[in-house]
Amino acid sequence: MFQRSGDDEARGGGQPGRPPGTTRGLLDAIALHERAAALRWDQMLVWFMRVMACAWLVKGLGAWAVLLGFGPGEGVAFEARSLSFQATIIYFAVIDLVAAVGLWLTSTWGGVMWLLAVTSHIILALFFPRIVMSNAMTLSAFASLILLYLAISWKAARQED
């Protein structure tokens, strides 16, 4: 990174009279500072997982609101809805909250549960649009979040300490 100048050599840099490792210590300190200032992908992954945990907590509580009769379609009781709708709401009421807890803990199983939850939502919205209603914007946002999570995870795994 830095090259020794003629002045450094004239002052005894690298010479037997100069304390050993002085120039090396300076270069090590600069390299350490650069590493500290560099983007830390593992920290970025933690922040991403925590933000997704908050979002999926809200999504899970929304499923519980529908289950308890506070959500959209308040005129129809949850028990009066189709069995497939009931099963889907119960599935998301459980898996979204479990994924949120796992994401908040930044555990591997949390990421896997989140990927399962968001992929389930996309697949069900595409193949059963009357049960899981989502627009194209929501589905593309979910797909983008999956790609972003995989990219940040990959970068964090490949980052050197």
Task: Give residue-wise pLDDT tens across range 48-79.
Answer: 999 999 999 999 999 999 888 886 665 778 88
Distance of CA 151 to the CA centre of its chain: 9
Between CA 154 and CA 41 the distance in angstroms is 9
Q: Are residues 32 and 50 in the same domain?
A: no
Counted domains in the chain: 2
What does DSSP assign to residue 81? Answer: S
Q: What is the pTM of this model?
A: 0.72
Task: Give residue-wise pLDDT tens across range 104-154.
Answer: 999 999 999 999 999 999 999 999 998 888 899 999 999 999 999 999 999
Q: Which of 1-15, 75-89, 105-119 has the lowest mean pLDDT?
A: 1-15
Q: Are residues 24 and 65 in the same domain?
A: no
Between CA 93 and CA 90 the distance in angstroms is 5
pLDDT of residue 2: 46
The DSSP result for 62-120, as a single string, is HHHHHHHT-SS-TTS-GGGS-HHHHHHHHHHHHHHHHHHHHHHTT-HHHHHHHHHHHHH
Parent domain of 27: 6-37
Q: Are residues 48 and 11 in the same domain?
A: no
Q: Are residues 101 and 22 in the same domain?
A: no
In a domain, residue 74? The reply is: yes
